[in-house]
Structure 1
């Protein structure tokens, strides 16, 4: 009796890994709210260090695996600079910008703006790999970004928007960083997961330097804030990042990217259930537009699969 062929198994693994990352990412805004007393760059340092530690065993196992030959593949100088220079900067920009933005704007709104990044990722992948933007991808991007626009039009008028503009801008910057990070992970000639501990440590050093330059008091937070900071690194910025790299390596970018649209819906639900955010008609509408945009963006030919 012949076993199932490999094409279906990697796809299943990719979907499971992506859904696992989505659930962990959806819990990030709640953990950030619990650790709100911690300065953002200090929280970024704690989260990235925790993420590096939890990713280390998986990194060692992958390096010892005979099957993962791409770990040892030769790299050009351009790719070395991109992986060891640009990726840590993008991680720092994504995590630091996200945590800082949430501290300067309403948590649910800032999180939803950040998680428009899968649209950016799909658009970027289509353009850079195929040098064209199919109409569904373009329409999907416009629909998803209209969801963010709903959040940028507070009922109180222009005063609310100007008050939170910096926070919203940082949240959008974080989304851009995640999109570019995901594209590099997909296009790189080597697997990124085994390199994550080192990349996270480099980003953590940058966050620690930024924390010192910002003038915040040196020292670890205590109690529940510290637990939330460590959990943030272990889950959303540790296990989720490894799972996301696995998903990108085993599945089509459009399908994997579309699964990430579940993050803002789950995140908003978690915040409302926990009582952190009051129910607001704009949140479900914006989340619906983001999810609808993802569905439209992935309506393309089945043979249009992006390769790593």
Structure 2
């Protein structure tokens, strides 16, 4: 089955851009929250974040479902799409969040984050190829320029020393990037909006995280104090409202532009770390910000495929 996606004409472009930027800002706050919750095992933290995200996304889900009942035309789902939405998406959510949190704990944070931030490139390339059977030059150039901004900002200064020691962490970070890219594509290509069923998908992924937590032998029980607050905040913001906003952005805007805006995550994350006093500012931050802006502009300068 071939899927041809066209941005929702009933929503102006600024809605997509605003939703994408909102998600980017929330995602950029994730490193601080993860650092505050570093004492929590990764799959336990994943389960806490996903349950919190399901709760915060519930009002939006109920509102969207209510509006769908007023529509006279319902889109029937084939078995393939039911399996993709209710089976594949929760698995991708678990792989993206659990893989990232586990990889950061097993490899240097900057290097693992840089690998994970390759997911917008994957998403744009997959989207353009599957929808149009070609990858336009502006998309490739814009993606590479924007990614170079993330590379400048997050590139480690120690070369590849100790690479084999952190190989598993790097592999998990790469898996997280692949999961984010495939998750974004499935949300964009699905014949129905994913946002109304987002809480259910979160809970399915949380169940998988809880099972993984038990299988890894982690101690059972909720964390306390600031770690618990940070875990809940991680679900409410970066992995709750941000994912709902990202679904809106994907379904109402062009993939090239929306995907390119995700390169703002490492830039804002670094800015937040500087403001919090965790990192010292240097020349890389403004350079990375400029490259992200230029790359987003180049990638979005694409005429719709005929």
Q: 1:188 to 1:9 in 2, by over 3 A?
A: closer
**Structure 1 residues without counterparts, runs of 5 or longer:** 1-5
Match of 2:191 among 175, 189, 194: 189
1:261 deviates by 1.5
Larger deviation: 30-39 or 275-284? 275-284
Verify: 1:249 aligned to 2:251, yes or no: yes
Q: Secondary structure at the match of 1:155?
A: coil
Q: Secondary structure at the match of 1:199?
A: helix
Q: 1:239 to 1:149 in 2, by over 3 A?
A: closer
Q: Look up the match of 1:213.
A: 215
Larger deviation: 253-262 or 181-190? 253-262
Q: 1:151 to 1:180 in 2, by over 3 A?
A: same
Q: Secondary structure at the match of 2:12?
A: helix
Q: Look up the match of 2:169.
A: 167
Verify: 1:117 aligned to 2:139, yes or no: no
Q: 1:281 to 1:97 in 2, by over 3 A?
A: farther
1:140 deviates by 3.4
Q: Secondary structure at the match of 1:158?
A: coil
1:19 deviates by 1.2
Aligned pairs for 1:32-181 (under 5 A) are 32-66=34-68, 69=71, 72-144=74-146, 154-181=156-183
CA contact (8 A) 1:113 1:148 kept: no
Q: Look up the match of 2:300.
A: 298
Q: 1:94 to 1:207 in 2, by over 3 A?
A: same
1:145 deviates by 5.1
Q: 1:71 to 1:174 in 2, by over 3 A?
A: farther
Larger deviation: 150-159 or 226-235? 150-159
1:143 deviates by 4.2
Name the CA distance, whole Å, in 2 between partners of 1:35 and 1:71: 45
1:236 deviates by 0.7
1:9 deviates by 4.8
Aligned pairs for 1:262-281 (under 5 A) are 262-279=264-281
1:188 deviates by 0.4
Larger deviation: 159-168 or 242-251? 159-168
Per-residue Cα deviation, 1:252-279 (whole angstroms, up to 9, x for no partner): 2222222222111001111232233455
**Structure 2 residues without counterparts, runs of 5 or longer:** 1-7
Larger deviation: 161-170 or 226-235? 161-170
Q: 1:86 to 1:68 in 2, by over 3 A?
A: farther
Count of residue pairs brought into register by the alignment: 299
CA contact (8 A) 2:91 2:205 kept: yes
CA contact (8 A) 1:33 1:107 kept: no
Q: Secondary structure at the match of 2:301?
A: coil
Name the CA distance, whole Å, in 1 between partners of 2:131 and 2:203: 30
